Amino acid sequence: MPQQKNRDAILFDHSHDGIDRRGFLKCMAWAGTGALCVLEGGVLKSYGLDDPAHIAKAARGELSFVQISDSHMGFNKPANSDVIATLKAAVAKINALPVPPEFVLHTGDISHLSKAEEFDTVDQILQSASTKNVFFVPGEHDVLEDDGKQYRERYGKNTKGAGWYSFDKKGVHFIGLVNVMNLKAGGMGSLGAEQLEWLEDDVRHLSKSTPVIVFAHMPLWNIYPEWGWGTDDSAQALSYLKRFGSVTVLNGHIHQTMQKVEGNVTFHTASSTAFPQPHPGGAPSPSPMKVPAEQLRGLLGVTNVNYVRKHHALALIDSTLE
Binding site for another protein (CB under 8 A): 77-79, 112-114, 140-141, 144-145, 183-188, 225-228, 284-288
DSSP state of 85: H
In angstroms, the CA 17 to CA 286 distance is: 32
Distance in Å, CB of 21 to another protein, minimum:
30
Nearest residue (CB) to another protein, 115 versus 154: 115
Please name which of 304, 282, 299 lies closest in space to residue 33, comparing C-alpha atoms.
299
Local structure of 239: helix, strand or coil: helix
Amino acid identity of residue 209, one-letter, is: S
Phi, psi of 281 (to 5 degrees): 75, 0
Nearer to another protein, 86 or 166 (CB): 86
Q: Which residue lies nearer to another protein by CB, 106 or 141?
A: 141
Would the CA dihedral through 188, 211, 247, 60 be positive or negative?
A: negative
Residue 66 amino acid letter: V
Write down the least CB distance from residue 211 to another protein, Å.
33
Instruction: Return left, alpha or beta for 148; rule: phi > 0 is left, psi -120 to 50 is alpha, else beta.
Output: left
Helix/strand/coil for 109 = coil
CB atoms within 10 A of CB 76: 12
Q: Please state the closest distance from residue 183 (CB atom) to another protein, in A.
A: 4
**3-state secondary structure at position 189:** strand
Minimum CB distance to another protein, residue 177 (Å): 18
- Residue (157 or 184) nearer to another protein, CB: 184
Q: Would you call 141 helix, strand, or coil by DSSP?
A: helix
Q: Tell how strand 247-251 and strand 265-269 pair up.
A: parallel
* Residue 262: count of CB within 10 angstroms of its CB: 14
| Closer to another protein by Cβ: residue 23 or 286 | 286
Which one, 83 or 213, has the nearer CB to another protein? 83
179 vs 248, beta carbon nearer another protein: 179
Q: How far is the CB of 169 from another protein (least distance, A)?
A: 32
Q: How far is the CB of 103 from another protein (least distance, A)?
A: 28
43-48 and 63-68 beta bridge pairing: unpaired
How far apart are CB 58 and another protein at their closest, in Å? Answer: 36
